[in-house]
Amino acid sequence: MRAAMSDSSNTGVKLTDSNLQMLQRANYLFHSAHNWLATEALEKENLLWRTRPKYHKLDHIVYDCAPEVSPLKLSCYTDEDAMGKLKKLAMISYPNQMGRQVLSRYAAYTCVRWLRRLTE
């Protein structure tokens, strides 16, 4: 799946038709393999999963979102990383001024990163 999304033939935010088909095939194979493993586990009464994976959401990403925009462009990993950075900033802030300090420090942090990218 990753190869279909990060191929250099994808220009901008949209996947090429061939990469979109590759992504959809990979998603189908992924579901097929998981279903086969789940059936085998049920037959052997060897249930290992404590949680249910959210594969329905994966289908929506692959079939509904991917034709319009690359799933890599919609990834939330950078947001989760940002939340970790904000939490660290909050931990070192004075409680009465925490909101203002966290936002100003994060703004300064992101501005420095953006300026570095502009000068590259």
25 pLDDT higher than 90: yes
Which of 86-102 are b and which e, b meaning 16 or more Cβ less than 10 Å from the residue's Cβ?
A: eeebeeebeeeeeeebb
Please, what is the angle between helix 98-119 and helix 77-91, to 10°?
Answer: 130
Contact of 16 with 9, CB cutoff 8 Å: yes
Please tell me the predicted confidence (pLDDT) of residue 9.
62
Can you give the residue ranges of every domain in the chain?
Answer: 2-74, 77-119
Q: pTM score, two decimals?
A: 0.54
22 pLDDT higher than 80: yes
**Model confidence over 74-119: pLDDT tens digits?**
766 655 666 777 777 777 777 787 788 878 877 887 888 888 878 8
Residue 41 binned pLDDT confidence (cut-offs 50, 70, 90) = confident
